[in-house]
Amino acid sequence: MEFFEEPEGGWTDEAARRDERAPAAERTVRQGEPAAREPSAETRAADTPDENEGVVEPGTSSAAPRGAGSPGVVTLWQLARKRGFVRPDDPREGDVRVSWEALEGFPEAHPHLVAGERVLYELGAADSGNEEGGPRHAVRVRPAQRRQRGVVEEYSFGHGYGMIACEDGTRYFLHRSNVLSGAFADFDRGDEVFFVVEENGPRRGPQPLAMQVKLGDPRPLLYRFGQFPYDLNQWVTALAEKACEERWDYMHERAGDGGPHPILLHYLQTTFERLVSERRDGRPTIVEGTGDGGQPYALFDTGLVDSLRKPIYALFKEHHAREDPRRWWWHGFFTEDEGPMRDVDELPVPADYLGDPSLLVISPSEVERMRIDTRHILVEHIDRFPARLRSDPELARKVFEGEIHELPARIRRNYRLAVPQYYRRDIQLLLPLCLGGAAGRADLALVVERTATGARRAGTIVGIDYAYEQARVVARPEAGWLGQAWLTPTQL
């Protein structure tokens, strides 16, 4: 095994490592889409000011034009709840509360704010002179800078860069370091983005750099496809009760987080992303049709089964709300022999993760040769180690390297120790790290990926809850180090 420390910054492939496997609460929306409908396009158009009003030209000062509002920076935006906070540039002023209804002049298909985004805000009359008490409320929020629209032409998540194409043929270099904080540092080809072009700004070769990049619609693909009840109990809990009995809640480092059945919600969102990807490749993973009554429908296989081992499908009916651009609304979860499914002529196929079986196993020799990013693991994420090791970095290093040294022999005795996970459209492997913090089970999982050259590389570590959540997308881990870590002693 080769231990190494990757350099920070730079444009080289070596330095462009995968970003951290953030907790799911930070990666995905933990609520369904609100049932309340947004104002119609006609209403928003009538209320939208002239595009030049309140917009700062590139290259000029960020000070607000007269009458445009006060400048500030978004510190928090809750995508599901459509609200957040802005911190004024004036340090004498307190934070300002912002709701979706106050947004004006934002060109995205799904108007929203992102942490780090500069805006111009106006306070209501009752809040203008309020210097005491809680946050004040903005009645109008506009972009502080003019933004260019483009479409992602290509993007490599592993390298962290790609290209944006605009309608006039201009191409801009996209790097994840220029994505606004809080935005997903991952893009699919065809994603609509908005960004700032700085006059005489930096360039990457012949292409100018896209700065302050923001996704046009940052919602998970599942929520872009169809509308769901805001209350997760109405659909996520309903699926948990319909499927074979299974634990869908965190039980270790994230116990109590994420609302009802957070692992199941993550499973559904990630499975749908996989289905969309496979549909682009020609597999019938999402089927659309028309029932006997002429009503359009859509459905996909959830990958789960009921107590009789019958596949469970998500069924959608056509969305007739003019105010919502999505075509579909969720109708329910059904097996093929239940009433609403009788009009369905063709059933979709489930997601497939077995296209390359070699990705699902790792040999002892591969473990011996794999490269390990020790700086990322032992310095940047020492906080994930057991408490007794966090306070003694040198001891943590010795224990970690000792455990790594034992892995080839453990894999040789039981190849099933390597548990596959699905992350960012790639199959990776999870290997157990028993660091002495938890009696009888692994403390952490070592994440191993295969590079473009076919070599194995261990880039980070994750907690057991997160490891199980990612592994459950591919298959339910059986009793083993991850299964045993998940189960309570009475369930073993």
- Average pLDDT (344-363) is 92
pLDDT band at 487 (very low <50, low <70, confident <90, very high): low
The verdict on residue 184 lying in a domain is yes
* 70, part of any domain: yes
Average pLDDT for 205-228: 88
137/226 same-domain check: no
* Cβ neighbours, 10 Å, residue 128: 10
Contact 285, 301 (CB under 8 A): yes
pLDDT at 335: 96
| Chain centroid to CA 178 | 17
Q: Is residue 300 part of a domain?
A: yes
- Domain count of the chain? 4
On whether both 251 and 186 belong to a single domain, the answer is no
Q: How far is CA 292 from CA 284, 297, 315, 345, 386, in A?
A: 21, 11, 15, 10, 59
* Dihedral sign computed on CA atoms, order 351, 356, 359, 362: positive
Domain that holds residue 54: 34-143
Q: State the pLDDT confidence band at 6, using cuts at 50, 70 and 90.
A: very low
Determine the Cα–Cα distance for residues 285 and 144; give it in Å rounded to an integer.
42
Among left, alpha and beta (phi > 0; psi -120 to 50; other), residue 476 is beta
Nearest to 59 by CA among 195, 196, 198: 198
Helix (H, G, I), strand (E, B) or coil at 486: helix
Please report the pLDDT score of residue 42 as a whole number. 36
Which of 67-81, 193-207, 458-472 holds the top average pLDDT?
458-472
Q: For residues 291 and 46, give the distance between their C-alpha atoms in angstroms, rounded to a whole number.
A: 38
Measured CA to CA, the distance from residue 188 to residue 152 in angstroms comes to 7
- Note the pLDDT of residue 81: 82
Furthest-apart CA atoms within the chain: distance in Å: 72
Q: What is the mean pLDDT of residues 354-370?
A: 92
- Do 482 and 374 share a structural domain? yes
By CB atoms closer than 10 A (0-12, 13-18, 19+), residue 354 is exposed
Q: What is the residue whose two structure tokens read 């896209």?
A: 210
What are 155's two structure tokens?
């993007």
Residue 489 pLDDT level (bands cut at 50, 70, 90): very low
Q: What is the mean pLDDT of residues 408-422?
A: 93
- For position 163, which CATH number holds? 2.40.50.140
Which of these three, 95, 114, 143, is where a domain ends? Answer: 143
Q: Which residue has the higher pLDDT, 108 or 11?
A: 108
pLDDT band at 206 (very low <50, low <70, confident <90, very high): confident
d(Cα 320, Cα 328) in Å, to the nearest integer?
8
Mean of the pLDDT values across residues 251-275?
A: 92
Q: Note whether 372 and 478 are same-domain residues.
A: yes
Residue-level pLDDT at 66 = 41
Residue 27 domain-assigned (yes or no): no
486: confidence class by pLDDT, cuts 50, 70, 90: low
Q: Does residue 55 register a pLDDT over 70?
A: no
Q: Say what the pLDDT of residue 104 is.
A: 92
CA distance 341 to 343: 5
321 and 389 both lie in a single domain = no
Q: What is the pLDDT of residue 269?
A: 95
Q: How many residues does the chain have?
A: 492
Q: Are residues 230 and 319 in the same domain?
A: yes
Q: Where are the beta strands (DSSP E) in 362-413?
A: 371-373
| Residues forming beta bridges with residue 70, ordered by sequence position | 121
pLDDT at 36 over 70: no
| pTM of this structure | 0.76
Tokens 């749908």 correspond to what residue? 272
Whether residue 51 has pLDDT greater than 50: no
382 and 322 in a single domain? The answer is no
| Rounded Cα distance, 392 and 72, in Å | 41
Rounded percentage of the chain residues whose pLDDT exceeds 90: 52
In a domain, 360, yes or no: yes
Cross-strand partners of 372:
3, 458
**Tokens describing residue 414:** 């039981």
Residue 410 domain flag = yes
The tokens describing 71, both together, are 């400048």
Each residue's pLDDT tens digit, 147-205: 899 999 988 877 788 999 999 889 999 998 889 865 556 788 888 999 998 766 666 66
| Whether residue 191 sits in one domain with residue 289 | no
Domain assignment of residue 480, yes or no: yes
Contact (Cβ atoms closer than 8 angstroms) between residue 102 and residue 140: yes
**pLDDT at position 3, please?**
53
Q: How far apart are CA 480 and CA 441, in angstroms?
A: 10
362 domain residue, yes or no? yes
DSSP state, residue 210:
P
| Calpha distance 243→250 (Å, rounded) | 18
Q: What is the mean pLDDT of residues 402-413?
A: 94
Please tell me the least confidently modeled range out of 325-329, 398-402, 454-458, 487-491. Answer: 487-491
254 and 324 share one domain: yes
Backbone angles phi, psi at 403, to 5 degrees: -65, -40
**pLDDT value for 111:** 87
CA–CA distance, 142 with 49 (Å, rounded to integer): 9
Q: Are residues 112 and 196 in the same domain?
A: no
Cα Rg of the chain, angstroms: 25
Q: Are 435 and 389 in contact (CB under 8 A)?
A: yes
Span 248-268, average pLDDT:
91
Predicted pLDDT at 125: 67
Considering the domain architecture, whether residues 211 and 226 belong to the same structural domain is answered as no
Distance CA 459, CA 431 (A): 12
Among the listed residues 14, 23, 24, 22, the one whose alpha carbon sits nearest the alpha carbon of residue 373? 14
Where a domain ends, among 318, 343, 368?
A: 343
pLDDT, tens digit, 9 for 90 and up, residues 97-113: 999 999 999 988 788 99
User: Per residue in 93-105, is it b (16+ CB within 10 Å) or e — as a string?
Assistant: ebbbbbebebbbb
Shared domain check, 262 and 232? yes
Instruction: Identify the three-state secondary structure at position 121.
Output: strand
Q: Which residues contact 367 (CB under 8 A, 6 or more apart)?
A: 1, 407, 408, 411, 431, 456
Mean pLDDT of the chain: 81
Domain end: 308, 343, 378, which one?
343
